[in-house]
Amino acid sequence: MSHIAVIDYGSSNLRSVSKALEAVALPGQKVRVTNDPKIIRDCERAVFPGQGAIGDCMNQLKQLDLIESIKHCIASKPFLGICLGLQSLMTYSDENNGIDCLNIFSGNVKRFVRSNNRTSLEKIPHMGWNQVHWTDSHFLTRGIPSGSYFYFVHSYFVDTSSPKIIASSTKYIQEFTSAVSQDNVFATQFHPEKSAKNGLTFLTNFVKWDASSANQTD
């Protein structure tokens, strides 16, 4: 039986992610929440959810000896990052006075800054439903029109120096990157596990995604 590894570094919304994946998993796919490096390395596909502070996240990944297993999955398997799981893939984050991240993608993680408009209703964190505009077609976005709504909760956003990896954008205070993709990796700032029908469609596509096949990129 193949398994989907949901990576547990000690601080994340694991139950909602694992339950959503179990709801859409294919026959023969088992969802395993784990911090065991070997189980993660041996998985068919991996999901890296995250919430909280990037400093705690990176420290826990090091203490649990998970970094090499995560990089192995990123290099070889369908891999989905969610929220902090997206931000951790970048080079550096401004959070916690500056933290080095996994450096899978070039770019930094920055905090939203409110405009000087005193009438602005935009609060930090960005929390709630917002539109996601796809930049290109992808297998994971099949059946989900550009401009569809997904659920967000975050104070920091990705600022990548590689425009070609940007998979979607969203407007809140400013336009920001709300997903990135490259080869077998797709990572989102939004939470598909909290995004009702659109989120379940997205996760259904993920459990079916053959990232090694050219005909499954769009």
Spatial contact of 75 and 47, defined as CB atoms under 8 Å apart: no
Give the tokens for residue 142: 């099949």
- The catalytic position among 73, 83, 126, 138 is 83
Spatial contact of 193 and 203, defined as CB atoms under 8 Å apart: yes
- The catalytic position among 3, 126, 154, 191 is 191
Catalytic annotation present for 193: yes
Map the chain to HEC letters.
CEEEEEECCCCCCHHHHHHHHHHHCCCCEEEEEECCHHHHHCCCEEEEEECCCHHHHHHHHHHCCCHHHHHHHHHHCCEEEEEHHHHCCCCEECHHHCEECCCCCCEEEEECCCCCCCCCCCCCCEEEEEEEEECCCCHHHCCCCCCEEEEEEECEEEEECCHHHEEEEEEECEEEEEEEEECCEEEECCEHHHCHHHHHHHHHHHHHCCCCCHHHCC
Catalytic annotation present for 95: no
Peptide bond into 125 cis (omega under 30): yes
Catalytic annotation present for 133: no
Catalytic amino acids? Answer: 83, 191, 193
